[in-house]
Amino acid sequence: MSGSTQKLWGGRFTGETDPLMHLYNASLPYDYKMYKADLEGTKVYTSGLQKLGLLTSEELEKIHYGLGEIKKEWDNGTFKRHPNDEDIHTANERRLGEIIGTHIAGKVHTGRSRNDQCVTDLRIYCRDILVEKLLPFMIDLVQVITKRAENEIDILMPGYTHLQRAQPIRWSHWLSSYATYFTEDYKRLKQVLERLNKCPLGAGAIAGHPYGIDRQYLSDELGFNSIIGNSLVAVSDRDFIVDIMFWSTLFMNHISRFSEDLIIYSTAEFGFIKLSDAYSTGSSLMPQKKNADSLELLRGKSGRVFGQLSGFLMSLKGIPSTYDKDMQEDKEPLFDCLTTVEHSILIATGVISTLTVQKENMQKALTMDMLSTDLADYLVMKGVPFRETHHISGECVALAEKLNLSGIDKLTLEQYQEIDSRFEKDLFETFNFEKSVEKRNAIGGTAKSAVLKQLASLNEEISSTN
């Protein structure tokens, strides 16, 4: 490198770059996030060069010293960017030349292209975010939900279909449903991690490494599980980014539905839960308001994440093989997606761990019409076909409504027997919400034993894949 401002690709060009083109082309304002991955990759790569005899031990020692100094500067916020730094790779190599001299620093890129360097950094960066943040945070989210469900196992509430009261369920059953979604998300994210953790380094620009570098060594030292076996694919594959965005979109879809339920439950009309002040805001005009802004933002940001995915897919769809500059459009949506998901997991965990359940309101919302199916089941146990009992139960509901009764339990035995003579006095034992939920004790049901089994299974799945 003949000067501190020379571009990595500048030897072919004699004219000045349009200043706007420089800004349009530069990615350092956002890809600086990968500085640790870039320095780590260069450290291992130069060790690979030394094994080939392309660097002496003394040169390697100086390079590694310089890389360590650069990391300290990034860590403590003293790294000084140069206007001509296009990206994190250019910036780090330029700074290395300033620390140890351009003659030795100019050797670190031997046989390496920014094509394989950049995607190596991306894979390391994504892997670190998944391992150090997203996966542990997902475990915390599931465990907070299951712990709450265990502690509040005795609370009953209406279950809804079509947002209409359907059948009584346990509050813990509702909690378990989202713990199930999030556990599947966790397991799916582990699969994403497995697919992304493959080594592209040593593929060169497109055709492979000209000096026969030991790619297995690079892969092992950088903590990859395997090597990408085709150099063309190694430099151009961005499927792992799409995988992350697909995962993020599905997870945020689950978060959005979770939030929507809690928003509804927090309204005065329902009053099932009360959010902590830490996750609520007030109105600038109406002092009585307590808004579920945390949940509304979780719901809203699901659209943001999906937008990042759809936008990047459109950037990818028409690119010819192998590397093209379009691929620089991977980082901004990826970084935004990862940050949004990380914060969303933490907010969702905070919301569910601090909200207050208003048990009495849940209990009041249970109405006898929700036991209509139980009434049909009563006759089933007497040998009547369910299709017939369903119609009979519907007639009972209709009669109670016609008589303006508060529930089907207010009909007399005589009125029941006028509809069907097979009703007996013990039918009134049907009108018990606790008995109703406890009858549903098959796997996946809302009986206490079934819910506790669900929670135990979820905790086992999370701990076994951790």
Which residues is 198 bridged to in the sheet? 226
DSSP β-ladder status, 156-161 and 226-227: unpaired
Architecture of domain 115-214+225-363: Up-down Bundle (1.20)
Average pLDDT of the segment spanning 216-236:
97
Average pLDDT of the segment spanning 425-440:
96
- Which residue among 2, 57, 162, 284 is the active-site one? 162
Which residues is 159 bridged to in the sheet? 167
Question: Could you give the C-alpha distances from 295 to 124, 161, 186, 266, 278, in angstroms and in order?
Answer: 32, 21, 21, 10, 12
Q: Which fold has domain 368-449?
A: Ribonucleotide Reductase Protein R1; domain 1 (1.10.40)
Torsion of CA 297, 299, 305, 309, to 10 degrees: -160
pLDDT of residue 21: 74
Domain limits of the chain? 10-110, 115-214+225-363, 368-449
pLDDT of residue 288: 57
Residue type, 38: D
The larger pLDDT score, comparing residue 127 to residue 12, is at 127
Backbone angles phi, psi at 383, to 5 degrees: 95, 5
Taking the C-alpha atoms of residue 118 and residue 246, their distance in angstroms, rounded to an integer, is 22
Query: Percentage of the chain surpassing pLDDT 70?
Result: 94
Question: Could you give the C-alpha distances from 344 to 27, 296, 405, in angstroms and in order?
Answer: 26, 11, 46
DSSP β-ladder status, 356-357 and 273-274: antiparallel
pLDDT of residue 9: 45
Pairs from 396-402 (Cβ < 8 Å, separation ≥ 24): 396/372, 397/369, 397/372, 400/369
pLDDT of residue 67: 98
CB atoms within 10 A of CB 342: 15
Q: Which residues of 281-312 are buried (b: 16+ CB within 10 A; e: fewer)?
A: eeeeeeeeeeebebbebbbebbeebbebbeeb
Mean of all residue pLDDT scores within the chain: 93
The larger pLDDT score, comparing residue 120 to residue 465, is at 120
CB within 8 Å of 150: residues ≥ 6 apart = 172, 452, 455
Q: How many residues does the chain have?
A: 466
Question: Which has the minimum average pLDDT: 241-250, 335-344, 378-387?
Answer: 378-387
- Specify the pTM: 0.91
pLDDT tens-place string over residues 175-223:
999 999 999 999 999 999 999 999 999 999 999 999 999 999 999 999 9
State yes or no: pLDDT of 15 exceeds 80: no
Which SS3 state, helix, strand or coil, does residue 317 take?
Answer: coil
* Closest among 63, 72, 164 to 108, alpha carbons compared: 63
CB within 8 Å of 73: residues ≥ 6 apart = 79, 80, 95
The larger pLDDT score, comparing residue 21 to residue 92, is at 92
Q: Which CATH superfamily is domain 10-110 in?
A: Fumarase/aspartase (N-terminal domain) (1.10.275.10)
pLDDT tens-place string over residues 132-165:
999 999 999 999 999 999 999 999 999 999 999 9
Two tokens, residue 365: 């919302």
* Closest among 415, 38, 371 to 201, alpha carbons compared: 38
- Based on the residue annotation, tell me whether 283 is a catalytic residue of this protein: yes
pLDDT band at 324 (very low <50, low <70, confident <90, very high): confident
CA 269 to chain centre: 31
Taking the C-alpha atoms of residue 311 and residue 95, their distance in angstroms, rounded to an integer, is 34
pLDDT of residue 6: 53
- Which residue among 4, 226, 276, 283 is the active-site one? 283
pLDDT of residue 280: 83
